[in-house]
């Protein structure tokens, strides 16, 4: 399937799709003019209901026609055929309706430091929205569901509440799903959500004969958004899993489904125990930028900074007119082996990934570790900056010269004694 487009134009591609006896749908978009791949996207599917998809298409220069290719995927463990349906395909030209002028003035420094910050928002109560989250009141559903009934054989699936053993979990209940042929699953009651809000999903699990634990979140928005997630199994004991999810636009509810999927379909039984489910509305502070300014010191660039390179591993930085703290950078890729004199810290990665030091001229001069003088215009400093291996090299040279001088004096002394 192909369609003509306007050159140098961005488009929105929308479509509805549905699968039967398959867990994937897919589309590929290429340029007919250059045969260049523009978009390749697969969609995971948990059931046979209709879904909607939206993709932004930005054709490369010189493209006047697009080719669509739709994919149908057979289910490996299903004896019959799989069907993939596509309809309501639209390609809509996107127009610029507003332009935002960003501040392009350079930022002097961006620090790459790890720090713990606390964010408080009293409008959130952090209540667990999953009823019977520890399954102490029994399973969520009376019977186990068969979420992959691909043949008429015995599904060999089960669900039960088991009592935990061990010092930490003794007496506590857990929900166990077992699968040896078909896929066992169960779902919690629909959880109320607000669109665009963030939620922390978490649970504990104990799994055998599998490398991952699968769950699914299915929202009630117009697109019937369905999200599959997998928790990796890294050991034979109890593990915890957490993930941050965001409710899509138009969603007011979500259903959580958990699974036990046989890994070899009949040869090995997979057993997974679940406990301590959490679905908590949290502030959506992720993927956002926060500006913090809690320093009492005002920064000011010195009158002049001159860097003299003595050789590739040693530099002398001459600074004049430094009256307030500032950041000093050298045009070298960040390496912790670059060292300034003692008393000058911290050494951090600055904007562009270069070596950066925070310099407080008053504190540095008080430490008396560098050449420093004060005038009406501020402080003047001379700061040596060397690569760590250079210090070892300098020490080796000094030791070698000392050894040479000592040896020479010893030889002279011996010769004088012989001449006597």
CB-based contacts of 57, cutoff 8 Å, min separation 6: 10, 11, 12, 13, 29, 38, 39, 66, 91
Q: How far is CA 109 from CA 49, 341, 343, 352, in A?
A: 51, 21, 21, 9
Region of poorest pLDDT, from 86-100, 149-163, 165-179, 319-333: 165-179
Residue 189 included in any domain: yes
Which of 61, 93, 125 lies at the terminal end of a domain, its last residue? 93
For residue range 353-375, what is the model confidence (pLDDT) as tens digits? 788 888 888 888 887 778 889 88
Residue 105 included in any domain: no
- 344 and 269 share a domain? no
| Coil/strand/helix, residue 403 | helix
| Coil/strand/helix, residue 363 | helix
pLDDT-above-70 percentage for the chain: 80
pLDDT at 255: 95
- 178 and 230 share a domain? yes
pLDDT confidence bin for 157, thresholds 50/70/90? very high
**pLDDT for residue 141 is more than 90:** yes
Q: How many structural domains compose the chain?
A: 3
- 214 and 342 share a domain? no
- 6 and 79 share a domain? yes
pLDDT at 51: 86
Residue 108 included in any domain: no
- 161 and 274 share a domain? yes
Query: Which range, 167-181, 243-257, 333-347, has the best average confidence (pLDDT)?
Result: 243-257
CATH no. for residue 229? 2.60.120.260
pLDDT at 176: 95
For residue range 201-254, what is the model confidence (pLDDT) as tens digits? 999 999 999 989 999 999 999 888 888 899 999 999 999 999 999 998 899 999
Instruction: Give the burial string for 318-339 (b: 16+ CB within 10 Å, else e).
Output: ebbbbebbbbbbbeeebeeebb
Could you give the CA distance from residue 230 to residue 217 in angstroms, rounded to a whole number?
11
For residue range 249-280, what is the model confidence (pLDDT) as tens digits? 899 999 999 999 987 655 678 999 999 999 99
Could you give the CA distance from residue 37 to residue 399 in angstroms, rounded to a whole number?
63
Mean pLDDT of 3-14: 88
Residue 254's domain comprises 145-282
- 265 and 191 share a domain? yes
- 274 and 154 share a domain? yes
- 89 and 14 share a domain? yes
Region of poorest pLDDT, from 87-91, 98-102, 321-325: 98-102
| Residue pair 344/360 in contact by the 8 Å Cβ criterion | no
């Amino acid at each position: 399937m192909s369609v003509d487009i306007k050159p140098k134009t961005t488009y929105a591609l929308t479509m509805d799709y549905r699968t039967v006896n398959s867990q994937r749908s897919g589309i590929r978009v290429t340029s007919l003019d250059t045969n260049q791949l523009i978009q390749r996207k697969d969609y995971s599917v948990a059931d046979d209901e209709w879904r909607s998809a939206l993709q932004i298409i930005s054709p490369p220069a010189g493209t006047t026609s697009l080719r669509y290719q739709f994919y149908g995927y057979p289910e490996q463990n299903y004896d019959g055929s799989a069907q993939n349906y596509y309809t309501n395909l639209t390609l809509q030209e996107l127009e610029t309706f507003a332009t935002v002028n960003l501040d392009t003035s350079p930022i002097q420094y961006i620090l790459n430091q790890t720090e713990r910050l606390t964010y408080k928002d009293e409008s959130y109560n952090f209540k667990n929205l999953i009823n019977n989250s520890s399954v102490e009141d029994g399973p969520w559903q009376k019977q186990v569901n068969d979420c992959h009934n691909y043949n008429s054989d015995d599904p060999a699936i089960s669900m039960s509440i088991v009592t935990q053993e061990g010092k930490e979990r003794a007496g506590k209940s857990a929900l166990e799903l077992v699968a040896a042929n078909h896929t066992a699953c169960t779902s919690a009651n629909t959880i109320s959500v607000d669109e665009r809000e963030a939620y922390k999903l978490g649970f504990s699990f104990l799994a055998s004969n599998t490398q991952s634990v699968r769950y699914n979140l299915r929202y009630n928005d117009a697109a019937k958004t369905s999200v599959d997630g997998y928790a990796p199994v890294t050991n034979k004991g109890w593990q915890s899993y957490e993930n941050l999810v965001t409710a899509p636009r138009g969603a007011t509810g979500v259903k959580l489904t958990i699974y036990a999927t046989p890994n070899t379909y009949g040869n090995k039984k997979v057993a997974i125990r679940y406990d301590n489910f959490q679905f908590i509305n949290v502030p959506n502070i992720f993927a956002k930028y926060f500006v913090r300014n809690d320093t009492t010191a005002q920064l000011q660039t010195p009158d002049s900074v001159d860097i003299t390179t003595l050789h590739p591993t040693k530099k002398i930085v001459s600074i004049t007119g430094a009256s307030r703290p500032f950041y000093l950078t050298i045009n070298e890729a960040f390496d912790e082996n670059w060292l300034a004199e003692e008393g000058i810290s911290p050494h951090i990665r600055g904007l562009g990934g270069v070596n950066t030091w925070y310099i407080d001229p008053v504190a540095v001069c008080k430490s008396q570790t560098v050449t420093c003088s004060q005038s009406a215009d501020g402080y003047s400093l001379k700061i040596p900056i060397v690569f760590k291996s250079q210090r070892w090299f300098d020490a080796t040279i000094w030791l070698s010269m000392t050894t040479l001088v000592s040896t020479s004096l010893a030889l002279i002394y011996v010769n004088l004694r012989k001449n006597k």
